[in-house]
Amino acid sequence: MQKFEYRAPRFSVDLPAQFIVGEITLAGRCREISQEGMTLEIQKPVTPNASGKILLGYREQVIEIRSRVAHATESHAGLEFLFDSETERAAVTQLIALLTAAQNRPGPVLLH
């Protein structure tokens, strides 16, 4: 029997982001986010397996999370979040909730 791996739901977004790897800070845009990671659009390629910190800002909230480059192309990097605490995990959950509410995504519909 084949084993299936399930991924967390992904949400399309457009947020400013900075990926800090060592002494280098790369500016980019978060184009997709999930509870497990994100897709970062960047101007300079990054090396797969590189580790650093991602900074995401939305409204007055800034989230900083250690991340690893899971895969990369010339213009995009798939980042895996490396949570150091449940507080960081909760901050990402809250950010996703704020973003989906701001995009007026439909929620459950109650029928009478």
- Write the pLDDT tens digit of every residue in 29-87: 999 999 999 999 999 989 999 999 999 988 888 899 999 999 999 999 999 999 999 99
Q: What CATH number is associated with residue 41? A: 2.40.10.220
User: How many Å apart are CA 43 and CA 58, to the nearest integer?
Assistant: 21
Name the pLDDT band for 110 (thresholds 50, 70, 90): very low
pLDDT of residue 5: 61
For residue 34, give its domain range.
12-102
What the block records as the tokens of 1 is 């029997």
pTM of the model: 0.82
Confidence of residue 6 (pLDDT cuts 50, 70, 90): low
Spacing of C-alpha 67 from chain mean position: 9
Q: Does residue 112 lie in a domain region?
A: no
Please report whether residue 109 resides in a domain: no
Say which amino acid occupies 97: A
Task: Say how many domains are in the chain.
Answer: 1
How does DSSP classify residue 37? E
CB crowding 75-98: b at 16 or more within 10 Å, else e: ebbbbebebeeeebeebbeebbee
Question: Residue 18: what pLDDT?
Answer: 96
Half-sphere exposure of 7 (CA within 13 A, CB side): 9
Q: Is 15 exposed, middle or buried (0-12, 13-18, 19+ CB in 10 A)?
A: middle
38 domain residue, yes or no? yes
Is 39 a member of any domain? yes
pLDDT of residue 104: 62
pLDDT over threshold 60, residue 99: yes
Q: Is residue 62 part of a domain?
A: yes
User: In the prediction, which pLDDT does 58 show?
Assistant: 87
- The span from the CA of 45 to the CA of 78, in Å, is 11
